[in-house]
């Protein structure tokens, strides 16, 4: 299938928070109750239409190495948007968000490179929460990130948060394109000016 643009995202967070389940739900509409630690899939892919353009969305998933906190520079390469996930029924995974944010920041400059980042509280179908929605929202706000809640099990919120992130990335791509365009125009103008000056010189001589 053909596509107009590409969008590359990555997902990060403690092991068992539901990262693989969120991506499986998004791409196949399915949910697996069993722990999928060794799916061995590096990335998930889905084509979706935004504003009449087909976008190839590629989302990198950790293949279990997050358990050893062993994510490499390569994992972060070319990421245009980031999802950081915790499990609302497990306080530890919420407290570890700080670690994951630090870890991302050692590899990429989120602010300077305008990498849109969202925080996702997953497993909201579980009645006994250890993290209230307000606490998730407050933390995300402090970090300057958007906050979403999902259930990979029921599907609630999954499409919305990924589509939000893709839209942000597409906006960035557009801005970069127009920045490039204006640089090209400036270069063109500078060249023309130079030519003009040369001409002036030559003509003055004559």
Radius of gyration of the chain (CA): 22
- Beta strands 53-60 and 43-50, pairing class: antiparallel
The residue among 113, 120, 173 whose CA lies nearest residue 151 is 120
Question: If contact means CB under 5 to 8 A according to the sort of partner, which of Mg ion, ligand GDP, none does residue 144 touch?
Answer: none
15 contact choice in ligand GDP, Mg ion, none (CB below 5 to 8 Å, kind-dependent):
ligand GDP
* C-beta of 37 vs 183, nearer to Mg ion: 37
Per CB under 6 A, residues contacting ligand GDP are: 15-21, 32-36, 122-123, 125-126, 151-153
Site for Mg ion in 20-79 (CB under 5 A): 20
Q: Of the two residues 162 and 170, which places its CB atom closer to ligand GDP in the complex?
A: 162
On the 0-12 / 13-18 / 19+ scale of CB atoms within 10 A, 123 is buried
Residue 75 beta carbon to Mg ion: minimum distance, rounded to whole angstroms: 13
122 binds Mg ion (CB under 5 A): no
- Burial code (b: 16+ CB inside 10 Å, e: under 16) for 89-101 equals bbeebbebbeebb
| Between 37 and 180, CB nearer to ligand GDP | 37
Residues contributing to the site for Mg ion (CB under 5 A): 19-20
């Amino acid at each position: 299938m053909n596509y107009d643009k590409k969008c590359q995202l990555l997902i990060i967070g403690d092991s068992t928070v539901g990262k693989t389940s969120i991506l499986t739900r998004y791409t196949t509409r399915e949910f697996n109750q069993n722990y999928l630690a060794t799916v061995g899939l590096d990335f998930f892919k889905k084509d979706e239409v935004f504003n009449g353009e087909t976008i190839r969305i590629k989302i990198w998933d950790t293949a279990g190495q997050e358990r050893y906190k062993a994510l490499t520079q390569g994992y972060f390469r070319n990421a245009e948007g980031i999802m950081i996930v915790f499990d609302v029924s497990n306080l530890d995974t919420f407290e570890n968000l700080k670690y994951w944010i630090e870890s991302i920041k050692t590899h990429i400059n989120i602010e300077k490179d305008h990498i849109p980042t969202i925080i996702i509280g997953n497993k909201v179908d579980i009645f006994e929460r250890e993290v209230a929605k307000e606490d998730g929202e407050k933390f995300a706000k402090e970090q300057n990130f958007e906050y979403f809640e999902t259930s990979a099990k029921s599907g609630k919120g999954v499409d919305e948060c990924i589509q939000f992130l893709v839209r942000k990335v597409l906006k960035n791509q557009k801005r970069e394109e127009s920045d490039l365009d204006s640089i090209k125009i400036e270069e063109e103008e500078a060249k023309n000016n130079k030519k003009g000056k040369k001409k002036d010189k030559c003509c003055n001589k004559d």
